[in-house]
C-alpha cells in the first residue's frame, strides 16, 4: 500500500474514532484475500468484475481472520472496536467516502447487518471442523 494511502487511512481512523487503523488495513487485506479466493484477481478482470458483495467480503473476513488470528479473532476485533458484522460495513463505507474504495449503486450498509453472530462464527472449537466457505 502506498504511503499516501496509509496516511489517509490513519487520518480516517483518527477522525472517525470508532475503529483502529489496523482494522482498516485488515479490511484491505481481507478484501484482497476474498478476491483471490473468488477468482477475482487484479490481473484478469476489470475493476467492475472484481466487485465483491458485502456478504462475500464478510465470509472472506471470517476465513482470513481464522488464518491470521485463530482463536484470538474476537479479541483482536474487540481491540480494534469491531463487535458485529455491521462494523465492517462501516469501515468499508468510510473507505468509500474517503475514495479509498469504490462501491456500486446496489451496495448498501445494510448488506453488512447481522450476516453472522461473532460468538458463533468465531467459536474456535466449532471452526476447526469447517473453516472454508469460499470456493
Is residue 67, in this structure, part of any structural domain at all?
yes
Number of domains in the chain: 1
Read off the pLDDT of each residue in 81-85 and give the average, rounded to a whole number: 97
pTM equals: 0.86
Mean pLDDT is highest, among 39-43, 110-114, 128-132, for 110-114
Q: Is residue 71 scored above 60 in pLDDT? A: yes
pLDDT at residue number 134: 53
Is residue 88, in this structure, part of any structural domain at all?
yes
Show the domain range for 39: 3-127
Is residue 134, in this structure, part of any structural domain at all?
no
Q: Which residues contact 40 (CB under 8 A, 6 or more apart)?
A: 49, 50, 51, 52
Q: Of all helices (H) and strands (E), which one includes residue 54? A: helix 54-69
pLDDT at residue number 45: 44
Q: Which residues contact 33 (CB under 8 A, 6 or more apart)?
A: 60, 63, 64
Which one has a higher pLDDT value, 129 or 116? 116
Is residue 133, in this structure, part of any structural domain at all?
no
Amino acid at each position: 500500500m502506498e504511503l499516501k494511502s496509509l496516511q489517509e487511512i490513519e487520518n480516517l481512523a483518527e477522525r472517525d474514532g470508532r475503529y483502529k487503523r489496523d482494522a482498516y488495513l485488515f479490511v484491505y487485506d481481507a478484501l484482497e484475500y476474498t478476491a483471490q479466493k473468488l477468482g477475482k484477481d487484479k490481473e484478469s478482470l476489470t475493476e467492475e468484475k472484481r466487485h465483491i458483495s458485502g456478504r462475500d467480503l464478510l465470509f472472506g473476513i471470517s476465513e482470513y481472520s481464522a488464518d491470521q488470528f485463530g482463536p484470538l479473532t474476537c479479541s483482536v476485533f474487540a481491540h480494534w472496536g469491531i463487535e458485529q458484522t455491521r462494523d465492517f460495513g462501516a469501515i468499508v463505507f468510510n473507505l468509500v467516502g474517503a475514495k479509498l474504495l469504490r462501491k456500486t449503486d446496489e451496495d448498501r450498509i445494510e448488506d453488512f447487518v447481522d450476516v453472522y453472530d461473532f460468538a458463533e462464527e468465531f467459536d474456535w472449537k466449532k471452526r476447526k471442523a469447517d473453516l472454508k466457505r469460499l470456493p
